[in-house]
Amino acid sequence: MRLNPLDGILYLSMKMVKAFDRRDTDLKYFDPDKVKSILVVSSTAIGDTLLSTPAIKAVRERYPDAKIIAHFNKSNIEMFENNPHIDGVISYYGGYKRFFTTIRELRKHKFDLVLIFHGNEPQATPMAYFSGANFIVKLPNTSKYGFLLSNTTSHLHPPTSDLQHGIEQRLKVAAVVGCNSKDKRMVLPIEKKDEDAIIKFLVSEGIKDNMLVGFQVGASTVSRMWFADRFVELGKRLISAYPDIRVVITGSPSEREHCSKIAENIGRGAVVSAGRFPLRQVPALIKQFKVLVTGDTGIMHIAIAVGTSVVALYAVADFRRTGPYYDLEKHRVIQKWKTCAPCVSKKCAYQKCMENINVDEVFNAVTDIIGVRT
């Protein structure tokens, strides 16, 4: 791993600044009645941000009159701008890009409280501190920047080794400041204009009354991707077994070539949606699917959020942390386990563990959801 010299400079600077900070920032001084402005941080990938939405809803319910500003990744913002529980969004540009510009923007809002649900370090916690908020909460609180947090004692959360789903972890952050909620459902509203745009797209592809099965063939890392030839075989078998099925292959604009090759090899009945419309319209498309076959991806979380069944393919990741967490009867998870020790995860060049997921079991999982067509 390459070390960024800015990381060391930032850490030493934060140590020095905190040493001279005489504010009462410990949670024992926290008064919820004085909270007027809140920053909620979830500045990583689409799926991670979706996992934060139940906690953001819990914050809104506990602090209905507070101004709630979200700090989201710039590349994902258009999908979350219509979230009913936030009053505005400040972009995170990645790493140290626009670091001081973003801090200036944060400071304008005079936040009383910052809740870090999921953020890239080493930037997330220092930026929260420089926002000027007296109280900053994050779980787990064991990173080297833990000295900047208001929740400094370990009894406020279970041991970090305890297995917990990402939604649960974020709800625990909210619970530290009195936002107690049992609602685990992710929040992802879809506007009618986006639904209309997707219907128009499907009609242009000759799709009207067909059953749609989605294939998310890409992922953030190679280690989370199933193999192209297996998607091809699966597509052919599904179209053969269910002649009215159309397979829609989803992906980002950068994945369009990969998606197109898979569609070409499947043949008639396969459609590529990658790069065909804006990110904000993707949930409306996913909602049209009967089922989505996918690895551990943001698209998987979108499907769960909008009520579409998934067949989730796991190997390097653990579905108990990031897989379906509610409506479990609608979803099927195929979990294999890591075959390489140590696992290189993001540096994986060949996803050997994914070889353990065969086409038969994925086909059976899809048909179990589809049922018998008449």
- Residue 116 three-state SS: strand
Residues 159 and 218 in one domain: no
Q: Tell me: the pLDDT tens digits for 24-54?
A: 999 999 999 999 999 999 999 999 999 999 9
Residues 270 and 314 in one domain: yes
Q: Which pLDDT belongs to residue 154?
A: 54
Does 181 map to a domain? Answer: no
| CATH code (residue 57) | 3.40.50.2000
- Residue 342 three-state SS: coil
Domain end, chosen from 107, 141, 175, is at 175
Mean pLDDT of 307-326: 96
Q: Predicted confidence band at 343 (pLDDT cuts at 50, 70, 90)?
A: confident
Residues 317 and 353 in one domain: yes
Average of per-residue pLDDT values in the chain = 93
CA 301 to chain centre: 6
Domain end, chosen from 175, 201, 225, is at 175
Q: Which pLDDT belongs to residue 181?
A: 93
Does 60 map to a domain? Answer: yes
Q: Tell me: the pLDDT tens digits for 63-101?
A: 999 999 999 999 999 999 999 999 999 999 999 999 999
Sheet of strand 37-42, all strands in order from the earlier edge strand to the far edge: 88-92, 67-73, 37-42, 113-118, 135-138
Q: Where are the beta strands (DSSP E) in 217-373?
A: 245-250, 270-272, 291-294, 309-314, 332-335
Residues 197 and 91 in one domain: no
Q: Which pLDDT belongs to residue 1?
A: 45
Q: Which residues contact 320 (CB under 8 A, 6 or more apart)?
A: 163, 165
Residues 164 and 233 in one domain: no
pLDDT exceeds cutoff 90 at 341: no
Residues 164 and 35 in one domain: yes
Q: Which pLDDT belongs to residue 371?
A: 85
Residues 331 and 210 in one domain: yes
Does 183 map to a domain? Answer: no
Please tell me whether the peptide bond between 122 and the residue prior to it is cis, using omega within 30 degrees of 0.
yes
Mean pLDDT of 110-139: 96
Mean pLDDT of 346-366: 92
362 CB-contact burial (10 Å; exposed 0-12 / middle 13-18 / buried 19+): buried
**Full domain range(s) for residue 257:** 192-370
Given a contact cutoff of 8 angstroms between Cβ atoms, the answer to whether 49 and 72 are in contact is yes
Q: Which pLDDT belongs to residue 159?
A: 46
Q: What percent of the chain has pLDDT over 90?
A: 86
Residues 69 and 199 in one domain: no
Does 187 map to a domain? Answer: no
Q: Tell me: the pLDDT tens digits for 157-172?
A: 444 445 589 999 999 9
Does 62 map to a domain? Answer: yes
Does 129 map to a domain? Answer: yes
Domains of the chain: total: 2
In this prediction the pTM is: 0.94
Domain end, chosen from 142, 175, 208, is at 175
Q: Which pLDDT belongs to residue 350?
A: 83
CA–CA separation, 24 vs 18, rounded Å? 12
Q: Which pLDDT belongs to residue 348?
A: 86
DSSP-assigned letters across all residues of 311-322: EEEESSS-HHHH
Place of tokens 């009645």: 33
Residues 343 and 302 in one domain: yes
Q: Which pLDDT belongs to residue 336?
A: 94
Q: Which pLDDT belongs to residue 163?
A: 55
Place of tokens 């509203």: 189
Q: Predicted confidence band at 152 (pLDDT cuts at 50, 70, 90)?
A: confident
Does 184 map to a domain? Answer: no
Residues 41 and 164 in one domain: yes
Q: Tell me: the pLDDT tens digits for 284-306?
A: 999 999 999 999 999 999 999 99
Residues 41 and 118 in one domain: yes
Does 186 map to a domain? Answer: no
Residues 226 and 129 in one domain: no
Q: What percent of the chain has pLDDT over 70?
A: 96
Q: Tell me: the pLDDT tens digits for 132-147?
A: 999 999 999 988 999 9
Q: Tell me: the pLDDT tens digits for 190-199?
A: 999 999 999 9
